[in-house]
């Protein structure tokens, strides 16, 4: 089972990062993609991945929250990082009209610039979309034929939005959000609609601790070692065995990010 969304550069992991990776391995996680959310963290993510060859890879990108920082210097940093063997996708990039930490125009500009960079470098993209589906779909659609792959991570949209994303050819990343007994119900019902070859799983740790873990972890910090719980729950709601799902999402991640 492969965790495609680990924010391992987070300060929440500062005191025990190697142990977090070790616990994940021991829990049966077979690989992880470390998320880069701005230039500095993308550099840190690449370094962390370099330390765990064959187990960790990373993305290089600028999250919509950081879109106001976008510059030609940052574009060059990402381009340089993308040459490293551990860096397997551009992102996370996209639109977030929920928190609006950068202006919409800045978000759209940085998003489109990263799609262009990914197309130029022939790399897959790791996408973020929150309450911005219409603009997100309009911006990403013309780029998809020029990209080797794309995943919308932490999908939390509506059924119509899921169908639109699948029609565009996007892979769908599902987090422990789906385990939330209130907010996750609609998404839970949609899980069987995702074709097996388009499904990816992720913890998005240290965020989004699954709310239905028993016994409850003592800390609210999420970790990649909790991925087996998400696998088990998603398998149940899809009517599959967790072994088959674990193998399936591992294979999908390796195919999408070209790790095989």
Smallest separation, CB 158 to Zn ion (Å): 18
Cis geometry, peptide bond prior to residue 57 (ω within 30 degrees of 0): no
Smallest separation, CB 14 to Zn ion (Å): 20
Nearest to Zn ion by Cβ — which residue? 128
Residue with smaller CB distance to Zn ion, 42 or 242: 42
Q: Are the beta carbons of 221 and 18 closer than 8 angstroms? A: no
What is the rounded distance in angstroms from the CA atom of residue 250 to the CA atom of residue 232?
Answer: 14
Residue with smaller CB distance to Zn ion, 61 or 149: 61
Residue with smaller CB distance to Zn ion, 37 or 77: 37
Number of residues that bind Zn ion (CB under 5 A): 1
What is the rounded distance in angstroms from the CA atom of residue 52 to the CA atom of residue 48?
Answer: 7
Give the containing element (helix H, strand E) for 76: helix 72-81
Residue with smaller CB distance to Zn ion, 128 or 133: 128
Site for Zn ion in 102-131 (CB under 5 A): 128
Smallest separation, CB 130 to Zn ion (Å): 7
Long-range contacts of 161-164 (CB under 8 A, 24+ apart): 161/133, 162/190, 162/193, 162/194, 163/193, 164/133, 164/137
Smallest separation, CB 123 to Zn ion (Å): 18
Nearest in space to 81 (alpha carbons), one of 54, 53, 115, 43: 43
Distance between terminal CA atoms of the chain? 15
* Stretch 128-147: interaction string toward Zn ion, x if CB under 5 A: x-------------------
Site for Zn ion in 164-223 (CB under 5 A): none
For position 65 contacting Zn ion by CB under 5 A, the verdict is: no
Question: What is the DSSP-derived secondary structure letter of residue 54?
Answer: T
Residue with smaller CB distance to Zn ion, 129 or 234: 129
Smallest separation, CB 65 to Zn ion (Å): 9
Residue with smaller CB distance to Zn ion, 132 or 235: 132
Nearest in space to 5 (alpha carbons), one of 136, 94, 114: 94
Binding site for Zn ion (CB under 5 A): 128
């Amino acid at each position: 089972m492969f965790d495609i969304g680990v924010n391992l550069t987070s300060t929440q992991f500062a005191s025990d990062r190697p142990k977090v990776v070790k616990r994940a391995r021991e829990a049966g996680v077979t690989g992880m993609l470390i998320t880069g959310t701005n230039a500095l963290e993308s550099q840190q993510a690449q370094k962390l991945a370099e330390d765990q060859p064959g187990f960790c890879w990373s993305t290089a990108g600028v999250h919509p929250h950081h879109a106001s920082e976008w510059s030609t210097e940052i574009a060059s940093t990402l381009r340089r990082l993308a040459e490293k063997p551990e860096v397997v996708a551009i992102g996370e990039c996209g639109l977030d009209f929920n928190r609006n930490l950068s202006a919409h125009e800045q978000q759209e500009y940085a998003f489109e610039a990263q799609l262009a960079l990914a197309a130029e470098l022939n790399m897959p993209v790791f996408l973020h979309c929150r309450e911005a589906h219409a603009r997100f779909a309009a911006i990403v659609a013309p780029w998809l034929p020029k990209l080797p792959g794309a995943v919308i991570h932490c999908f939390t949209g509506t059924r119509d939005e899921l169908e639109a994303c699948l029609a565009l050819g996007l892979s769908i990343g599902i987090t422990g959000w789906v385990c939330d007994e209130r907010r996750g119900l609609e998404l839970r019902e949609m899980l069987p609609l995702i074709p097996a070859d388009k499904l990816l799983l992720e913890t998005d740790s240290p965020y989004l601790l699954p709310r239905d873990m028993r016994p409850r972890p003592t800390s609210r910090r999420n970790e990649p070692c909790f991925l087996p719980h998400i696998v088990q729950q998603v398998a149940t709601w899809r009517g599959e065995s967790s072994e088959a799902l674990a193998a399936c999402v591992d294979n999908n991640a390796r195919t999408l990010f070209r790790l095989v």
